[in-house]
Amino acid sequence: MRPFDGRRVLLVVSGGIAAYKSAILTRRLIEAGAGVEVILTAAAERFIGRVTFEGITGRPAHASLWDRPMAHLDLGLEADIVVVAPATANLISRLAAGAADDLAATAVLASRAPVILCPAMNTRMWEHPITQANVARLVDVGYGIAGPADGPLAEGESGPGRLLEPEEILPRIGRALETATGLRGRKIVVTAGPTRAALDPVRFISNRSSGRMGFALAEAAWRRGADVTLISGPGRVPRPPGPDVVEVETAGEMLAVLETALTDADILLMAAAVGDFEPTRTADSKIKKGDGFQLLLRAGPDLLLETRAFRERKGIFTLGFALETEDLLARGREKLERKGMHLVAVNSAVERDAGFESETNRITLINRSGRVEELPLAKKTELADELLDRIEASMAAAER
């Protein structure tokens, strides 16, 4: 069971322009399996109506201490997590002071669930020492702070103060809710995406990898409590918000960053489609079409092979992938042995709904004792959790 299934989220909305994003957050939470209760402050009701949230959650939204006696206690007590989004300077100051002057503040004060605040306000208000002191006070009592993001603000100004996007808030809620995990505190390195090898300053060879499988693994591992470093090659797909991301371009750069990241790692998830070939020479200036060009390629570094001895010495659990067009199982097994993996996820490069550029994948897992498990076609985001479940189980078995 993943963290949102059947979990109860109390969403407190205070009054800012960004309050509309909370409606989208509510929808995302419900899609992920959570039950959501919503409390609006009086100011929030001026920005967005109760009816919007009632339409999304299918239950009454709450705004007043006097609508339903004791609601302030029930709502906070029943919640598995309290999320305040947007959290205005005013609500933050009331929470920091322990105020109980409306339903929102009272419910947060009365709850014993973890609290995540997602601030949204004008930059000068955010940077004001009083707001910063209030935030520090709330951090001190264990409240999590998500954001604010830097960027254009409602008044035509720009700077820190924007509410995070719902897609950025969701994994943070997941991380706080995640209890069924053996990955908490583990250091996990994930590689993702393609690499590029330059022919000249404007041209390169690369491959069709989107990075989705690696990003899904990084996001799921982070949500499950791990410290995640994501080493990503260039690609269009947005990076997951939680992990530390290091952007690289060439296979050589990816290897250098990987070697450093592995020094204190427990697990490597090697999902990158590292380019196997690189040109024997890279021109310093743009090659003119009139000049003609003979392309000579040589093999580039194999990152799993290069790091094999170190990983084995340190006992770093390694998941690798094998992208094949034929003889899937035999080749997967061979790669697992040769490249020093504990688990190999074999996928076919010819199926339409799997592999590169697809949002779904069909994976066959092979472990060191030769056990084969076929996972059904699924979204890469779902497969990421399936893979992490298998990794947790085999690490737990190895530690017994």
**262 touching ligand CTP, by CB under 6 A:** no
CB nearer to ligand CTP: pick between 183 and 251: 251
Residue of 323, 336, 387, 395 that binds ligand CTP (CB under 6 A): 323
Question: Any contact of residue 304 with ligand CTP (CB under 6 A)?
Answer: yes
Q: Is 383 in the site for ligand CTP (CB under 6 A)?
A: no
Chain center to CA of 305: 28
- 149 contacts 172 by C-beta, under 8 angstroms: no
Which of 87, 113, 230, 303 binds ligand CTP (CB under 6 A)? It is 303
Is 276 a binder of ligand CTP (CB under 6 A)? yes
CB of 206 to ligand CTP, least distance (A): 13
CB 94, CB 23: distance < 8 Å:
no
Q: Pick the piece of the chain touching ligand CTP (CB under 6 A) from 98-106, 152-160, 270-278, 364-372.
A: 270-278
Please pick, from the candidates 335, 362, 380, 390, the single residue that binds ligand CTP as defined by CB under 6 A.
Answer: 335
Is residue 302 within the footprint of ligand CTP (CB under 6 A)? yes
d(CA 288, CA 357): 32
Stretch 216-255: interaction string toward ligand CTP, x if CB under 6 A: -----------------------------------x----
Q: Dig out the tokens for 297 from the structure.
A: 């390629």
- By CB under 6 A, name the one of 79, 164, 176, 322 that touches ligand CTP: 322
Distance CA 315, CA 170 (A): 33
**Which residues in 90-115 are b (16+ Cβ under 10 Å) and which e?**
bbbbbbbeeebebbbbbbbeebebbb
Instruction: Name the catalytic one among 90, 122, 134, 207.
Output: 207
In the bound state with ligand CTP, the residue whose beta carbon lies nearer, of 303 and 383, is 303
82, 120, 270, 365: residue in contact with ligand CTP (rule CB under 6 A): 270
Closest separation in Å from C-beta 12 to ligand CTP: 43
Q: Other CB atoms closer than 10 Å to residue 12's CB: what's the count?
A: 31
CB burial class (10 A; 0-12, 13-18, 19+) of residue 288? exposed
385-389: long-range pairs with CB below 8 Å, 24+ = 385/2, 385/220, 387/217, 387/269, 387/319, 387/343, 387/345, 387/363, 388/183, 388/217, 388/220, 388/221, 388/224
SS3 assignment, position 189: strand
Q: How many CB atoms lie within 10 A of CB 86?
A: 29
- Annotated catalytic, 361? no
Binding mask 282-301 for ligand CTP (x = CB under 6 A): ------------------x-
Give 35 or 340: the residue with its C-beta nearer to ligand CTP. 340
Backbone angles phi, psi at 207, to 5 degrees: -140, 180
Per CB under 6 A, residues contacting ligand CTP are 251, 270, 272, 274, 276, 300, 302-304, 320-323, 335, 339
Active site residues: 207
